Chains A and B, each alone.
Chain A
Amino acid sequence: MAIVVNLDVMMAKRKMSLSELAAKVDITLANLSILKNNKAKAIRLTTLEAICQALDCQPGDILEYRPD
């Protein structure tokens, strides 16, 4: 997958833990881990919106296109 989720970088910048973010975005810790570890096949726009809101960032700060 050439799309990489850089959630941990942004979380480190905002000094937010995984469980804290899960509570703010209102998704389970398990699902957030799937997202963080690049195991997810798709991300809902509503989820992306909530993450951007919680981390106060743009989708481009979290998602990156890296050709293999």
Chain B
Amino acid sequence: MLILGEKSLSVLVKWILDLVFLGGLAITITLPYGLRWYMNALYPTNSENYSFMLGFLYFTGIVCLVLVNEIRKIFKTLNRRNPFMMDNVKSLNRVGWACFIIAAAYILKILFYNSVLTTIITMIFIIAGLFSIVLAEVFRQAIEVKEENDLTI
């Protein structure tokens, strides 16, 4: 199976990311209704406070949308077969910091309403953030090598 280029895995991933972005946008917009429905009908035994959860989910939701949008931008350049550009380094750094902001919000939530799932999500976001920052530096070095290679005749 093709990884890059037309009709490849990266195009499929970009398509999935578009769906995730639109879905996330829809959920964020309808959050007050969705959260009430979730708390009353689906999970009535929960102990979480409605307004705290609303604020928490709005904040992490918007940061998450920014994060997914940055990854979409990276995949757009991947599909154009030119991923080694400075914009992608900036995007990866932004993804990293968005991950850290979300992790910080989840650590705050652990203080009020702890659960195993919350802890796992916090750890995943911290590791994803570290990974993105390192990957951004790898991309930056790759750009230097590519420029050197482009100017070797």
Contacts and interface: CB of A to CB of B under 8 A. Distances in A.
Interface residues of B, number: 4
Interface of B: 148, 151-153
Nearest 7 CB-CB pairings of A with B: A41-B151, A42-B152, A35-B153, A40-B153, A31-B153, A43-B153, A40-B151
A44 interface: yes
A15 interface: no
Contacts of B148: 41-42
Nearest to A27: B153
Interface string A23-58: 000010001101100011111100100000000000
| Range of interface residues on A (Cβ < 8 Å) | 10 to 19
A34 B152 CA distance: 9
A36 to B, nearest CB: 10
B134 to A, nearest CB: 27
B148 to A, nearest CB: 6
Interface centre among B151, B152, B153 (most CB of A within 10 A): B153
A35 B153 CA distance: 7
A31 B152 CA distance: 9
A31 B150 CA distance: 9
A39 B148 CA distance: 11
Contacts of A35: 153
6 contacts: A31-B153, A32-B153, A39-B151, A42-B152, A44-B152, A44-B153
A41 B148 CA distance: 7
